[in-house]
Amino acid sequence: MIRKFAALAITLSVLMFPVVTFTGVRADDAKVTLENSTGGRNEKLSVDLIHSGGEYKTVIYDSDDGLASSEANSIAETSDGFIWVGGYSGLARYDGADFETIELPPDLLSINALYVDSKDRLWIATNTGGVALMVNDGFTVWNDVSGLRSESVRDVIEDDSGLIYVATTSGIAVIDGDMDLTVIDDERLVDCFVQNFRKDNYGRIYALTNSGEIFMLRDGKVEQYLRVEDPRISVVNCILPDPEDEGYLYIGTAQGAVFRGNYDGGLEESELLYTSKLMTGVNAWNILTASYSCAHRTVSAWSTVTRCMFRPTYRYTAILWAT
């Protein structure tokens, strides 16, 4: 059993940067909600870092602390309290005191994303080896031999019925309860570079491509497809479903703007919530609201890492990356 922390320890995965941890006291009146890669959605947060008044300090973990390298692409937490960190140099497990490097087959060493499903199983999305499911001390792998059109997997997510969706650089595959993989057969998805998934509170899975197209998936099929026509939204970099309004999305653009609009209405007349005036060439690269706590708490995420700036947008946080 892993020892729980008396003070909250909040761990944030920052692309191409080390793991950042915030520690501090609990704030019961936090108003921010949650989305994370452990499957939790829209829970009340224990700590509000944005309005903490400087009560938190930053601890950065890198290769000097036992990580394989000073980068973290994804973080997930399993129910036993372990924190899993995936990056381009492999997988590490953190027990609250030490990082342990997990031995992986060579094809699984470069990790894009981690996901913990409703059965507390750890999924690993890799750059060159397909997608893997960690079972005890071994791995079940789906790759081109299994039917994947591309072994470069960008993201993994589970729907309410237990189907596992796999985003690749050439479409989307689905793994069912019998562990059988099928590719979603839709001509609009052929050769699509699908960069990530988002899940809402109403059973919808949204898939975003690197060209800004948004697919809405349900029951293992494409239910809707949208190419944004609003001239203000030239390139969609990221999306986040509104937890309270079905069909509404928050949209981050390559121009550093954040919009809110109705997907079912084609995102027409989307409301502009935020635009960056800090510098030219700033991208809204991700929109999220929370990360992890080793004490099974969740918090609003922010960071002082160089080149990463956070600005509050309603109850969400837009993460902006300078290009």
Q: What is the pLDDT of residues 54-63, one digit of tens each?
A: 566 667 888 8
Q: Is the pLDDT of residue 206 over 90?
A: yes
Residue scoring higher pLDDT (229 or 14): 229
Whichever domain contains 311, its CATH number is 2.130.10.10
Q: Is the pLDDT of residue 291 over 70?
A: no
Distances (CA, A) of 290 to 19, 31, 74, 206, 300: 14, 12, 13, 19, 4
Report CA dihedral (155, 99, 14, 210) to the nearest 10 degrees. Answer: -20
Predicted local distance difference test score (pLDDT) of residue 94: 92
Q: Residues with Cβ < 8 Å from 119, sequence gap 6 or more?
A: none
Please indicate, yes or no, if residue 214 is contained in any of the structural domains: yes
Please indicate, yes or no, if residue 3 is contained in any of the structural domains: no
Which phi and psi angles does 97 have, rounded to 5°? -130, -40
75-95 mean pLDDT? 92
Q: Is the pLDDT of residue 289 over 50?
A: no
Please indicate, yes or no, if residue 215 is contained in any of the structural domains: yes
Q: Is the pLDDT of residue 48 over 70?
A: no
The arrangement of strands across the sheet holding 99-102 comes to 74-77, 83-87, 90-94, 99-102
Share of the chain above pLDDT 90, in %: 49
As a whole number of angstroms, the distance between CA 56 and CA 234 comes to 37
Q: Is residue 290 very low, low, confident or very high in pLDDT (cuts 50, 70, 90)?
A: very low
Predicted local distance difference test score (pLDDT) of residue 56: 63
Please indicate, yes or no, if residue 278 is contained in any of the structural domains: yes
As a whole number of angstroms, the distance between CA 238 and CA 122 comes to 24
Which phi and psi angles does 107 have, rounded to 5°? -70, -15
What 3-state class would DSSP assign to 250? Answer: strand
As a whole number of angstroms, the distance between CA 17 and CA 195 comes to 19
Please count the structural domains in the chain.
1
Residue scoring higher pLDDT (318 or 138): 138
Q: Is the pLDDT of residue 251 over 50?
A: yes
As a whole number of angstroms, the distance between CA 111 and CA 261 comes to 32
Q: Is the pLDDT of residue 113 over 90?
A: yes
Please indicate, yes or no, if residue 21 is contained in any of the structural domains: yes
Q: Is the pLDDT of residue 28 over 90?
A: no
Q: Give the helix/strand (H/E) hosting 1.
A: none
Predicted local distance difference test score (pLDDT) of residue 55: 62
Predicted local distance difference test score (pLDDT) of residue 57: 67
Residue scoring higher pLDDT (291 or 179): 179
Q: Is the entire prediction scored with pTM above 0.85?
A: no
Predicted local distance difference test score (pLDDT) of residue 15: 39
Q: Which of 50, 139, 56, 65 minimizes the C-alpha distance to 99? A: 65
Which residue is associated with the tokens 């997510």?
157
Cβ neighbour number for residue 298 with a 10 Å cutoff: 26
Q: Is residue 96 very low, low, confident or very high in pLDDT (cuts 50, 70, 90)?
A: confident
Report CA dihedral (148, 111, 21, 34) to the nearest 10 degrees. Answer: -10
254-275 mean pLDDT? 88
Please indicate, yes or no, if residue 232 is contained in any of the structural domains: yes
Predicted local distance difference test score (pLDDT) of residue 293: 25
Predicted local distance difference test score (pLDDT) of residue 47: 54
Predicted local distance difference test score (pLDDT) of residue 4: 30
Show the domain range for 288. 8-322
As a whole number of angstroms, the distance between CA 8 and CA 164 comes to 31
